[in-house]
Amino acid sequence: MASILVHPRCPEPDDPDIQRLLKLTAELTGASWVELEAELANGETRRYLSGQRDGAFHTIPLELRDFNTFLHLGGVDRVDDNLPTMISFSLQQLLRCRLFSEQVSLLQGALEETSNAIFLFDGNGDIVYANPPADRLLSRQTEDELEVESSGQRPQPMFMRVWSMVEKVLDGRVTQLPWTTTLVLSDSSVLICEIIRVDLNSQADRVGILVMLQSLPGLPSLFLDAFCARHRISPREQEVIGLLLGGSGTADMASRLAISEHTVRDHLKRLYRKTGTRSRSELLSVLSTARMEPTNGLPRRETVF
């Protein structure tokens, strides 16, 4: 892993953590002053000084992974043979912690800017992180009593469904990952749910489950054009798909298209047959997968939403 702290974001000369390390080194060695000299990849030299630099000094090369580093000790002729190893290890861990802290901050900032709801579960199935859209989604479930509707199954609270899917991944019942499916909610909104398992150094007890929920109507229209062309879907059937993506039910589709509910069901049956699906939830799942397929070379068609 390349360090983002080496260049150009090496710690500043007055970095408090490095200053504490230098003061501790001075106490251990009896040095009147301590200076850390780091040669960066771009040829620049960064110096960290504790005390007043004066007189003769003893130089110790340190072993750091990312750049050449030397420790200068004022008023000291020699040091314990274990000191270079101890200082090298301490400094490497300090920079490593700083690197991870900054990377986590950058990642957290990015996750909080996205419009997708993102949950991170630990190996016990507990939430260890939820970004602001995820918090808002949980609030919606509490206020609106959101449930997930599935063909042939009783409605289930939205978060209970998500948690049960996480549990299936954790206990190995689902191994085909990433797992992408759709959640049709009781308020007629549709979410794409993608679940990813993250293993830490192949340790069975150190795993995380990342769940990303995306509102289906926000997907680009180009993938829908390509999907309809691939499956030979008629313009009227494409209108039905557009309304389905918007969360419309049979009666609403009939009203908006000025056709009967029986005709809407006929259109849906033809769509199921053409796409190899058996229900609205399966069709929505196929549509969510189709958004990731290439669209080059397919004709563009008018889309009615």
pLDDT tops 90 at residue 21 = yes
Residue 29 and residue 100 share a domain: yes
| Structural domain that includes position 21 | 16-111
| Same domain? 139 vs 184 | yes
- CA–CA distance, 129 with 212 (Å, rounded to integer): 12
Does residue 2 lie in a domain region? no
- Residue at which a domain ends, from 111, 134, 166: 111
d(CA 121, CA 104): 16
**Residue 211 shares a structural domain with residue 150:** yes
Domains held by the chain: number: 3
pLDDT tens for each residue of 120-152: 999 899 999 999 999 998 888 888 888 887 666
Whether residue 304 lies inside any domain: the answer is no
What pLDDT is stored for residue 288 in this prediction?
65
CATH number at residue 178: 3.30.450.20
In a domain, 301, yes or no: no
Q: Are residues 212 and 226 in the same domain?
A: no
Per residue in 288-299, pLDDT (tens digit) is 666 545 444 333
Q: 89 in a domain, yes or no?
A: yes
* pLDDT tens figures, 186-207: 776 778 889 999 887 655 568 8
62 with 127, same domain: the answer is no
* 53 occurs within a structural domain: yes
Is residue 268 included in any domain, yes or no?
yes
> Which of 62, 92, 111 corresponds to the end of one domain?
111
| 69 and 99 together in one domain | yes
Where among 217, 240, 268 does a domain terminate?
A: 217
- Report whether pLDDT(7) > 50: no
Taking 90 as the threshold, does the pLDDT of residue 34 lie above it? yes
Within-domain flag for 272: yes
> Does any domain span residue 175?
yes
User: 124 with 146, same domain?
Assistant: yes
Is the same domain home to 37 and 89? yes
Asked if residue 157 and residue 86 are part of one domain, the reply reads no
Q: What is the average per-residue pLDDT within 85-109?
A: 87
CA 178 – CA 139 distance, rounded (Å): 26
